[in-house]
Amino acid sequence: MFAYYLDLALRSLKRNRVLTVLMVLALALGIGATITTLTVLRLLSGDPLPQKSAQLFYPQIDPNTKDGYIEGQTRPDLLMTYPDAMNLLHAHRATRQAAMAMTQARIMPRQPNAHPFYSDAVMTTSDFFAMFDAPFQYGGGWTASDDDSRAHLVVIASFLNDKLFGGANSVGRIIRMDDHDMRIVGVLKPWAPQPRFYAQGLGSRSYGDGDALYLPLHTARALEMRPQDTECYAEVPDMLNLETAPCEWLGFWVELDSSSAVSSYRQFLDGYVRQQIELARFQRPESSMLDLMSFLRQQQVVPDDVRLQAGLAFGFLLICVVNTVGLLLAKCLRRSREIGVRRALGATRREIFIQFMVEAGMVGLAGGVLGLLFAELGLFGIRHQPAEYAGLAHLDVTMFLFTFVVALVASLIAGILPAWRACVLAPAPQLKAA
């Protein structure tokens, strides 16, 4: 029976080629636009570390003065001062904890006639790699004692290892950075969580390539490397000594494995703030600790434009569906006589309904296939845009399947009204008119 409906639908679609093309094209454009923008939206609002994000938390405290403070409304600043980050780090109250800031490192390749270049670098503490599940190709991270002894060592990204050492095991070799010799202790596998959550608020980009170089925070500071972003909240007597200046420039993450660990860390954080208020270092009692995904939402890391584009595409799809409903309906109203004949010959309402839904479904599938092409075209366009996330825009399998579901659902919704109209037609008047 289904084959018969398919045959009927094909015949009907062939009878009005221009109209069929119009319906399929409109639906395909709507679906193409929706899938393109949804792919980007999904990509940008994704979980950077799916296996770990529930255990990662971002504590925030507020060293600002009471000036401009509204109780219960003013949120603590995003970054931390050096003393606070070090106090929390050395308290070891979490399974793992790390402080970090972004910087730029000047790298001098060993090859003769090679030009120096700048690369993104992370100055951080020893737990960084284990806490964020950064995978090593060769070697490993450094230890807490390396942090304290300001050891001249670095971990490099795979792309930097490819560039400098042709991808060979470079552990133990020396890299010339900011006119200092640094020993390589580890080489990461390709690693670039999206969004770049750990760089959020540190003056770096939110999406895109991973960082080239990781080195101990104290080592970097001893070499006078400066953070990309520094926010000061009071008179600064000595800008060069960021460790004592009233400036926030560090991001601080902790790993907490259970909900009891989370609540006890919250208590610890509140206790720390109370203690700092007693010491007259702090004035504001607020503290906050968001998990990774809440932190990204609160930071509104997904650009407004991307969310607007998705909304716009949905509006567009809606217009396309209304358009298809109208055209299908017009078509079926013209075929009332055919329906009358089929009903008179014994077709039930249900059969008429199914026949029209099959026809709508075929329009939908054709729209889906064409829509997929449009989506690939749209994503191709996005990859050639200047946005920092541009290179990431690829259609994945889920989105591929989703395209067909969207297409089918959209077309079936568009088909319901015409199909219902067709099946409730009384056969007798239609036959009489003939």
Partner 1 sequence: MAIRPIEIRPILASLRKHRIPAMLIVLEIALACAVLSNAVFMISKRVSDIRLPNAIDEQGLVAVSLRGTDQKLVGSDIPRNLAALRSIPGVQQAAITNSLPLSRNNWGWGFGVSPDATLSRQKSVNVSLYFIGEGGARTLGLKLLQGRFFNADELGDSKFGKAALPETHAVIMTRQAAQHFWPGQSALGRTIYSRPFYYTVVGVVDNVLRPNVFTQNTEKSYDVLYFPMSAAGSMGALSYYIVRGAPRDRDRIMRDAEQKLAELNPGAVAKGETYLSVRDKYFADMSSMAWMLVLVCVVMLAVTAFGIVGLTSFWVGQRRRQIGIRRAVGATRGQILRYFQTENFLLSAAGVLLGMAFAFAINLYLMQHYEMDRMPWYYLPGGAISLWLLGQLAVLGPARRAAAVPPVVATRSA
Residue 170 CA to residue 156 CA, distance in Å, equals 9
For residue 404, the one-letter residue type is: F
Which of 129, 316 has the CB closer to partner 1?
Answer: 316
For residue 284, the one-letter residue type is: R
Which of 140, 315 has the CB closer to partner 1?
Answer: 315
Report, in Å, the least distance between residue 317 CB and partner 1. 10
For residue 200, the one-letter residue type is: Q
Report, in Å, the least distance between residue 219 CB and partner 1. 18
Which of 141, 371 has the CB closer to partner 1?
Answer: 371
Report, in Å, the least distance between residue 224 CB and partner 1. 9
Residue 180 tokens read as 């200092």
429 preceded by a cis bond (ω within 30 of 0): no
Which of 10, 308 has the CB closer to partner 1?
Answer: 308
Among the residues of 188-303, which ranges form H helices?
217-222, 259-278, 292-298
Report, in Å, the least distance between residue 58 CB and partner 1. 23
Is 31:374 a contact under the CB 8 Å cutoff?
yes
**Which residues would be at the binding site for partner 1 (CB under 8 A)?**
19, 22, 26, 29-30, 33, 64-65, 67-68, 104, 106, 108, 115-118, 178-179, 232-241, 303-305, 307-309, 312-313, 315-316, 318-320, 322-323, 325-327, 329-331, 333-334, 385-387, 417, 421, 433
Which of 234, 401 has the CB closer to partner 1?
Answer: 234
Report, in Å, the least distance between residue 179 CB and partner 1. 7
Q: What is the DSSP string of 311-363?
A: HHHHHHHHHHHHHHHHHHHHHHHHTHHHHHHHHHTT--HHHHHHHHHHHHHHH
Residue 343 tokens read as 């009903």
Instruction: Name the strand (E) or helix (H) holding 205.
Output: none
For residue 287, the one-letter residue type is: S
Is 75:415 a contact under the CB 8 Å cutoff?
no
Report, in Å, the least distance between residue 355 CB and partner 1. 19
Among the residues of 142-210, which ranges form H helices?
144-148, 158-165
Residue 128 CA to residue 139 CA, distance in Å, equals 15
- Name the 3-class secondary structure at 251: strand
Report, in Å, the least distance between residue 385 CB and partner 1. 5
Closest of 423, 430, 429, 427 to residue 359, by C-alpha:
423
Is 87:269 a contact under the CB 8 Å cutoff?
no
- Name the 3-class secondary structure at 335: coil
Report, in Å, the least distance between residue 108 CB and partner 1. 7
Report, in Å, the least distance between residue 173 CB and partner 1. 21
CA 84 to chain centre: 30
